[in-house]
């Protein structure tokens, strides 16, 4: 968009007002620090102040990512120990975490159906090798999606909800490898185009949950007003065994007539 604006006659007089920093995310030409410092000084900020702000911001981001992965590992451990089912939400963060784009699908899966949702960014997939699936995956999130699918293949109680958007070129290519990566597990694809309505999306989610036996499981548990978990029922532990920020809302999971708050790493915007 900034490049288009620069070519518009209406913006000729504003050429020097359009800031269009180019950030290279490839590891060999990573230039984020210098670009941000240059932009800050152009906006009138003192460079030393901008440097301190950059370092503080990167430190906070690193801490957030560490805690996010810690919460994800704890969630996977919890599901493995209790046998509860989890839905891994894969896709790009601007799709899965934006409630406007995704129609808050993760939150509705949690609140309406008691589903344990784990976003892709909370999964420890950095060391998962996917070269046998695609030796030269160009897109970073394409690699992460395949790695997440491979992780799902190793956990029988994990399933995939793939969130994409209309005419996403990379997804049309990556999605073809997901089934192989997940060990042949059927997965649900939700494609958002800005004109979707949540009723249609939730109908598809219900059908998917029902095909997995999870929707029937949820309704069955609602009819069992017991204090403890039944032999085949879900855990009723009061929370995930890991601290998470207050901004992450609790998950409601059925346990008889109650709902036990489980913490899951879904950032609240």
pLDDT beyond 50 at 243: no
So what's the pLDDT on residue 170?
Answer: 78
Is the separation of the CB atoms in 157 and 79 below 8 Å? yes
Residue 65 domain flag:
no
More confident residue, 261 or 131: 131
Q: What is the pLDDT of residues 110-122, one digit of tens each?
A: 888 888 999 999 9
Alpha helices (H) in 114-241, listed in sequence order: 140-153, 169-181, 198-211, 214-222
Q: How confident is the model at residue 264 (pLDDT cuts 50, 70, 90)?
A: very low
| pLDDT tens for each residue of 187-224 | 999 988 877 778 888 889 999 998 888 775 544 455 55
pLDDT in tens, 57-76: 999 999 999 999 999 999 99
Rounded CA separation 252/259 (Å): 5
Domain count across the chain: 1
pLDDT, residue 220, reads 46
In a domain, 182, yes or no: yes
Average pLDDT over residues 144-156: 92
Q: Per-residue pLDDT averaged across 32-47, rounded?
A: 92
Please indicate, yes or no, if residue 75 is contained in any of the structural domains: no
Tell me what pLDDT residue 90 has: 93
Please give the pLDDT value at position 12: 81
Q: Inform me whether the pLDDT recorded for 230 exceeds 60.
A: no
What's the chain's average pLDDT?
78
The Cα 209–Cα 179 span in angstroms is 18
Q: Residue 126 is part of a domain; what is its CATH number?
A: 3.40.50
Residue 27 in any domain: the answer is no
**Domain membership flag for residue 77:** no
Predicted structure pTM score: 0.71
Q: Is residue 29 part of a domain?
A: no
Could you give the CA distance from residue 119 to residue 98 in angstroms, rounded to a whole number?
Answer: 12
| Residue 30 in domain | no
Q: Judge whether 23 lies within some domain.
A: no
Instruction: Work out the pLDDT band at 45, boundaries 50, 70, 90.
Output: very high
The residue segments making up the domain with residue 113 are: 83-263
Determine contact, residues 267/120, Cβ cutoff 8 Å. no
């Amino acid at each position: 968009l900034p490049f288009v604006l620069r070519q518009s006659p209406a913006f000729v007089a504003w050429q020097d007002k359009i800031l269009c920093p180019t950030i290279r995310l490839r590891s060999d030409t990573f230039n984020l620090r210098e670009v941000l410092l240059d932009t800050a000084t152009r906006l009138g900020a003192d460079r030393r102040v901008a440097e301190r702000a950059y370092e503080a911001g990167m430190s906070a981001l690193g801490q957030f990512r560490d805690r996010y992965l810690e919460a994800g590992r704890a969630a996977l451990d919890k599901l493995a120990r209790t046998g509860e089912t989890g839905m891994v939400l894969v896709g790009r963060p601007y799709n899965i975490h934006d409630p406007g784009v995704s129609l808050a699908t993760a939150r509705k899966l949690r609140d309406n159906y008691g589903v344990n949702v784990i976003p892709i960014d909370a999964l420890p997939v950095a060391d998962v090798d996917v070269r046998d699936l695609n030796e030269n995956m160009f897109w970073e999130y394409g690699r992460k999606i395949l790695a997440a699918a491979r992780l799902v293949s190793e956990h029988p109680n994990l399933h995939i909800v793939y969130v994409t958007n209309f005419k996403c070129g990379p997804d049309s290519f990556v999605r073809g490898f997901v089934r192989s990566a997940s060990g042949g597990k059927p997965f649900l694809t939700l494609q958002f185009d800005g004109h979707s309505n949540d009723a249609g999306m939730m109908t598809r989610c219900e059908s998917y949950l029902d095909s997995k036996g999870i929707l029937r499981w949820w309704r069955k548990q609602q009819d069992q007003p017991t204090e403890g978990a039944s032999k085949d029922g879900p855990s009723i532990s009061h929370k995930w065994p890991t601290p998470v920020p207050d901004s992450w809302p609790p998950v409601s999971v059925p346990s008889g007539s109650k709902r036990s708050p489980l913490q899951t790493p879904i950032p609240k915007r």
